[in-house]
Amino acid sequence: MTKWVYNFGAGEAEGHAEIKDLLGNKGANLAEMASIGLPVPPGFTLTTEVCSHFEQTGSYPQDLKEQVQKALQILESRAGCKFGDSENPLLVSVRSGARARMPGMMDTVLNVGLNAKTVEALAEQSDDRRFAFDSYRRFIQMYADIVLGVDACHFEKMLQRAKQKRGVKQDHELQVEDLERLVRDYKTRVFVELGEEFPTDPQVQLWGAIGAVFKSWTNPRAKTYRELHDIPEEGGTAANVQAMVFGNMGHDSASGVAFTRNPSNGDNHFYGEFLLNAQGEDVVAGIRTPSELTMQARMAHGNNSPSLEEKMPKVFRELMAIRDQLEKHYKDVQDIEFTIQKGKLYMLQTRSGKRTTQAAIQIAVDMTNEGLITKQQAVMRLHPSQIDQLLHPTIAENAKKQIIAKGLPASPGAAIGKVVFCADEAVQRVSDGEKVILVRNETSPDDIHGLHAAEGVLTTRGGMTSHAAVVARSMGRPCVAGAGHLEIDEAAGKLKIGDLVLEKGDKLSIDGSTGEVLLGEVPTVLPKVTGAFRTLMSWADEYRTMQVRANAETKADAILAKDFGAEGIGLVRTEHMFFAGMRITAMRQMILASDTKDRKDALHRLLFMQREDITELFQIMDGQPVTIRLFDPPLHEFLPNTEAELSYVARAAGVPVERVRRRATELREFNPMLGHRGCRLAITYPEICEMQARAIFGAAAEAGRTSPSKKTPVAEVMVPLVATLEEFKIIKGIIDKTAAAVQKEENVNFTYRVGTMIELPRAALQAGKLAEEAEFFSFGTNDLTQTTYGLSRDDTGTFMSDYKAKGIMAQDPFVTLDEEGVGELIKVAMNRGLSTRPDMKMGICGEHGGDPTSIDFCQRTGLNYVSCSPYRVPIARLAAAQSALKAQGERVTETRAARPRNPSFGPWCRLVSTRASSCARFRGFLEGSGHLREFSAEKSLGCLKGGPRQPPSLF
């Protein structure tokens, strides 16, 4: 026989927190609270399996009725009253509650069991007729709406009219006669709407409510919520039937909600609100302004109405003790609901409290220091991607902002600057000391110098893996991609958003964490790894076994990387060094050179710049490893396409326009990604490779004299896009020869290493051979993914969503490493490489190096390091620590239900508007949306105050 029903109450429970798949989160925690002796009104839980059965067959399991009747008897004896009794009636609530938290998304019916007879008994027994009829009119209102489907606005209107008639503002100011009349009017309305009487039989009411709760699993609100939060469709909700306790029994009664600590900043202060003479739903629905729980909070808010601490000191102390007990028991912050009936406290709900990232860190560190959790557990408490929002300049929390458009949050952080439409102009303005936002329909490799110069990037087309998005993330530039409502009129130098027109040079702000485009200059705050954040990161480092390096070319990025805890640079993309200022001109001269001599002259100019740049990196990293990749992109990326740009470039480089045009045509390729690039360039133009080697070794020698520790760095020279051992040998030959020459010229000895990128399947398969010559491997997983899939990263936008929808690809392989395919190649290459050269160092660079799931793969596979964008270094440190701990059997206890998702405002607008009358829904909205980094209970509770029914400035 299947057990469909689990009892709880009177200090014991058949269920417990571990079986929340069966009992739902609410039911499991009610059971848990009951069994640790907290004052929980008795009740029972119908399992989620009943819901699934109901879903699949349209009916209840056969033996359910019997089990419920038995449970009801136990409940009656525990509560000391009888369901439907005309002298001593039991009332119950029927509450939804799934495995995953879906706050306010499903239904709950309170005060079930009231009818003309039982209401009289309740009045008699409580000696409070007003209370009895208040409960009765609440019940009819709720039941008619949720179970019978009568539009709630009818009742709202009648309630409004009753208050007007009586000349009062608040529900609780209505007199008993008003409530009695309302009850009659409500019933009449139900009859008018449905053509049948409101059900009077408590058993009918009970099963009606249970059915409605189960059905609410599939209401549109709940469905949308699940979609947005990656909660599986199967599973269903449990239904909890629980004895009612009454917070509306007069002025020694109350209802409230609280967090055991401040969920906004993590302060170890009890945090919450209550309403006198009210039922729980009133607090979340914002019917009246609630009061603070503690005196301290009341004073801080300059509130006059007494706190619970002052109003009911005894109950308050009891609640404080329960707060401690809950935190000790759950070892985490709890979000609780409670009710006080005539001075007696009851606990109605507890669950792990949602919190901001800042709070999550503070709480994890505090709880460790308080001895509640271990350091390991603290490290496991956050999803690494959560800390992303702490690592970029962000829009100040209270900033006034005017949203003019929305796109995808493609690269996090806030950026402010003047609108420009072309990469060269971006570079120009930046070298004049301005800050710019590059606005394009989409970007191409030709725009890299502009992307680099700009504070942030805004595109009207393209997705999360579009060129702009990928490059922006790798450079740590905020990016909003695919803001489709923008219209760029490049010729006129205008940007149109509906009726709004911005001119080139006008100020604009973008928030790459939310996808918002904001008018003008919005104040921002800078990131810092300090305080609790720093502590938590240092604990992560204690458990981490893999090295974390950064991809960096500029001084600023290298310094940032070091600040963020990078242990070296895993990838210096030397071509990026040629995009800045004068360098691009020298670079173009080199490409436009008509013979080897001309080319050598131009290269000579580049040599000095390159050497200077690399010296700086060596100095900053001061003895830590720095891996420098030889020139990688095809040369035509440096030459312009448009006529206007052609003449501009020709002038700057001092050559005829004709030559630029001809060269650009000569260099044009059908498939640049698979064309003349990477080490293939060095094969054709060995002088480029020689210049770079000279710059690198010269820099190493110089850094040995000038860096703080005076140590000569071990330069790691990395050859890109190698497919064959022969290629590698030729290039290594040039490098070795140059190294010997520099050692002699500079009169120093230094060690260096020459290694290869593994970014072609052929290289992975030939790794055993390559390892004969290559001294290290770095897996270039971006290109390796492109070449393994035969898929261009910049062209996936049009079909990737179909692939995801049809289940062909669960994840974007450019975001999360494809373990089955690309991962397999990496493993093959590692094995073959190590069998030739057992002590070989191997790591990955590219986007995946900063992705927690991919980092976990690297840990499991035994790579030595990951290298990622400086902004992701702390994320990688935390992710690597978690992977190492997981390998030791530590459990993940993330405090967040879902990973952040692309905010999609459409469905949310609908969600809020379908139930505009209920702030509880809105609370769910605030809590649930991962992108709302400014979410704070302060705000969510604040919205309950006085009940603004529209989300603040979001829409």
* Residue nearer to ligand ADP on the CB measure, 350 or 619: 350
* Residue nearer to Mg ion on the CB measure, 759 or 847: 759
Pairing verdict, β 547-551 and 865-868: parallel
Binding residue (CB under 6 A) for ligand ADP from 29, 291, 307, 339: 339
CA distance 121 to 136: 12
Residue 416 CA, chain-centre distance (Å), reads: 22
Q: How far is the CB of 789 from Mg ion (least distance, A)?
A: 14
Binding residue (CB under 6 A) for ligand ADP from 29, 45, 108, 443: 108
Q: Is 335 within 8 Å of 243 (Cβ atoms)?
A: no
Q: Is 349 within 8 Å of 30 (Cβ atoms)?
A: yes
Burial group, residue 604, by CB count within 10 angstroms (0-12, 13-18, 19+): middle
Binders of ligand ADP among 346-365, rule CB under 6 A? Answer: 348-349
Q: Catalytic: 467?
A: yes
Nearest to 746 by CA among 699, 711, 714, 690: 699
Secondary structure (3-state) at 617: helix
Q: How far is the CB of 246 from ligand ADP (least distance, A)?
A: 7
> What's the chain's Rg over C-alpha atoms?
33
Burial group, residue 753, by CB count within 10 angstroms (0-12, 13-18, 19+): middle
7 near ligand ADP (CB under 6 A):
no
Q: Is 32 within 8 Å of 17 (Cβ atoms)?
A: yes
Q: How far is the CB of 282 from ligand ADP (least distance, A)?
A: 8
Q: Catalytic: 845?
A: yes
Burial 144-174 (b: 16+ CB within 10 A, else e): bbbbbebebebbeebbeebbeeeeeeebbeb
3-state helix, strand, coil in the chain (%, to 5): 50, 15, 35
**Structure-token pair, residue 98:** 């799934």
State which amino acid sits at residue 85. D
Q: In 51-187, which ranges are E strands? A: 82-83, 89-90, 92-98, 108-112
Q: How far is the CB of 920 from ligand ADP (least distance, A)?
A: 5
Burial 526-562 (b: 16+ CB within 10 A, else e): ebebeebbebbbebbbebbebbbbbbbbbeebbebbb
The window from 103-111, 610-618, 676-684, 867-875 that contacts ligand ADP (CB under 6 A) reads 103-111
* Residue nearer to ligand ADP on the CB measure, 243 or 558: 243
Q: How far is the CB of 73 from ligand ADP (least distance, A)?
A: 18
Q: How far is the CB of 374 from ligand ADP (least distance, A)?
A: 32
**Structure-token pair, residue 299:** 């004073």
**Structure-token pair, residue 69:** 């009747």
CA distance 123 to 860: 67
Q: Is 606 within 8 Å of 583 (Cβ atoms)?
A: yes
Binding residue (CB under 6 A) for ligand ADP from 104, 482, 568, 850: 104
Burial 262-295 (b: 16+ CB within 10 A, else e): bbbbbeeebbbbbbbbbbbbbbbbbbbebbbbbe
Specify the DSSP class assigned to residue 274. Answer: E
Specify the DSSP class assigned to residue 793. Answer: G
Catalytic site residue from 51, 81, 845, 919: 845
Q: How far is the CB of 148 from ligand ADP (least distance, A)?
A: 19
Binding residue (CB under 6 A) for ligand ADP from 42, 89, 202, 280: 280
Binding site partner of 780, from ligand ADP, Mg ion, none, Cβ cut-off 5-8 A by kind: Mg ion
Binding residue (CB under 6 A) for ligand ADP from 920, 932, 937, 943: 920
244 near ligand ADP (CB under 6 A):
yes
Give the residue ranges of DSSP H helices in 168-312.
Answer: 176-194, 202-215, 220-228, 280-285, 295-300, 308-311
Binding residue (CB under 6 A) for ligand ADP from 23, 40, 72, 110: 110
Q: How many residues bind ligand ADP (CB under 6 A)?
A: 19
Binding residue (CB under 6 A) for ligand ADP from 32, 134, 273, 281: 281
CA distance 509 to 518: 5
* Residue nearer to Mg ion on the CB measure, 783 or 818: 783
Give the residue ranges of DSSP H helices in 216-307.
Answer: 220-228, 280-285, 295-300
The window from 280-288, 456-464, 526-534, 738-746 that contacts ligand ADP (CB under 6 A) reads 280-288
Nearest to 146 by CA among 221, 77, 81: 221
* Residue nearer to ligand ADP on the CB measure, 221 or 877: 221
Nearest to 438 by CA among 429, 412, 501: 429
* Residue nearer to ligand ADP on the CB measure, 143 or 752: 143
* Residue nearer to ligand ADP on the CB measure, 110 or 254: 110
* Residue nearer to ligand ADP on the CB measure, 24 or 870: 24
Bridge partners (DSSP) of residue 256 are 274, 338
Q: Is 554 within 8 Å of 572 (Cβ atoms)?
A: no
Q: How far is the CB of 544 from ligand ADP (least distance, A)?
A: 39
The window from 4-12, 275-283, 427-435, 602-610 that contacts ligand ADP (CB under 6 A) reads 275-283
Binding site residues, Mg ion, CB under 5 A: 349, 759, 780, 783
* Residue nearer to Mg ion on the CB measure, 497 or 683: 683
Q: How far is the CB of 888 from Mg ion (least distance, A)?
A: 34
Q: Is 593 within 8 Å of 458 (Cβ atoms)?
A: no
* Residue nearer to ligand ADP on the CB measure, 330 or 533: 330
Binding site partner of 95, from Mg ion, ligand ADP, none, Cβ cut-off 5-8 A by kind: ligand ADP
Binding site partner of 940, from Mg ion, ligand ADP, none, Cβ cut-off 5-8 A by kind: none
Q: Which residue is nearest to ligand ADP (CB)?
A: 280
CA distance 20 to 942: 30
* Residue nearer to ligand ADP on the CB measure, 47 or 279: 279
Binding site partner of 41, from ligand ADP, Mg ion, none, Cβ cut-off 5-8 A by kind: ligand ADP
* Residue nearer to ligand ADP on the CB measure, 17 or 920: 920
927 near ligand ADP (CB under 6 A):
no
Q: How far is the CB of 11 from ligand ADP (least distance, A)?
A: 17
Nearest to 675 by CA among 634, 621, 725, 728: 634
Binding residue (CB under 6 A) for ligand ADP from 93, 115, 411, 859: 93
Q: How far is the CB of 781 from Mg ion (least distance, A)?
A: 9
Question: 844: number of CA atoms within 13 Å, CB side?
Answer: 32
Binding site partner of 783, from ligand ADP, Mg ion, none, Cβ cut-off 5-8 A by kind: Mg ion
Q: How far is the CB of 18 from ligand ADP (least distance, A)?
A: 21
Binders of ligand ADP among 245-274, rule CB under 6 A? Answer: 245
Catalytic site residue from 449, 467, 636, 931: 467
Binders of ligand ADP among 23-52, rule CB under 6 A? Answer: 41
Q: How far is the CB of 107 from Mg ion (least distance, A)?
A: 11
Q: Which residue is nearest to Mg ion (CB)?
A: 783
Other C-beta atoms closer than 10 Å to the C-beta of 250 total 17
Binding site partner of 245, from Mg ion, ligand ADP, none, Cβ cut-off 5-8 A by kind: ligand ADP
* Residue nearer to ligand ADP on the CB measure, 95 or 837: 95
Binding site for ligand ADP (CB under 6 A): 41, 93, 95, 104, 108, 110, 242-245, 279-281, 284, 337, 339, 348-349, 920
Active site residues: 467, 845
